């Protein structure tokens, strides 16, 4: 069996802990999605059914591992504060040139 080179992504990920993602998957019947949410090319989403807990837009120079680490941190905040963290919808609205309705 071949070992990955010392600085390969898989060897770098070996020491990474994603405790909040683990807790989310164990405590909910939730799903994690990483990929395209048109028109967003790269995004990460954590949801239970149709209820989004976290939606993140991947930065231009952000790696998949960095996105997962941000998702893990955001899930920790979301679960602790029982709040939604959504970067995707505002980005979609920005790209379409629309603004969200003001709350009254």
Per-residue pLDDT reduced to its tens digit, 34-89:
999 889 999 999 999 999 999 999 999 999 999 999 999 999 999 999 999 999 99
Residue at 11 is within a domain: no
17: number of Cβ within 10 Å: 9
Number of domains in the chain: 1
* pLDDT greater than 60 at residue 3: no
pLDDT band at 7 (very low <50, low <70, confident <90, very high): low
**Is 70 among the domain residues?**
yes
Beta strands in the chain (DSSP E): 31-37, 40-48, 51-57, 85-86
Structure tokens at 70: 């941000």
CA distance 101 to 8: 45
Per-residue model confidence (pLDDT) at position 99: 60
| Backbone φ and ψ of 80, nearest 5° | -70, -40
Instruction: Please check whether residue 5 lies inside any domain of the structure.
Output: no
Closest CA to 69 of 5, 7, 3, 15: 15
Q: How many CB atoms lie within 10 A of CB 90?
A: 13
Cis omega (within 30 of 0) on the bond before 37? Answer: no
Domain membership flag for residue 83:
yes
Nearest to 39 by CA among 100, 84, 89, 101: 89
Residue 92: give the domain boundaries: 17-96
pTM of the model as a whole: 0.79
């Amino acid at each position: 069996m071949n070992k990955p080179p010392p600085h390969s992504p898989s060897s770098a990920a070996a020491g990474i802990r994603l405790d909040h993602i683990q807790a989310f998957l164990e405590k909910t019947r939730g799903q994690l999605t990483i990929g395209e949410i048109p028109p967003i090319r790269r995004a990460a989403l954590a949801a239970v059914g149709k209820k989004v807990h976290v939606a993140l837009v991947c930065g231009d120079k952000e790696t998949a591992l960095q996105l997962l680490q941000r998702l893990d941190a955001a899930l920790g905040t979301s679960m602790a504060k029982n709040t939604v963290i959504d970067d995707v919808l505002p980005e979609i609205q920005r790209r379409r040139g629309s603004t969200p309705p003001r709350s009254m």
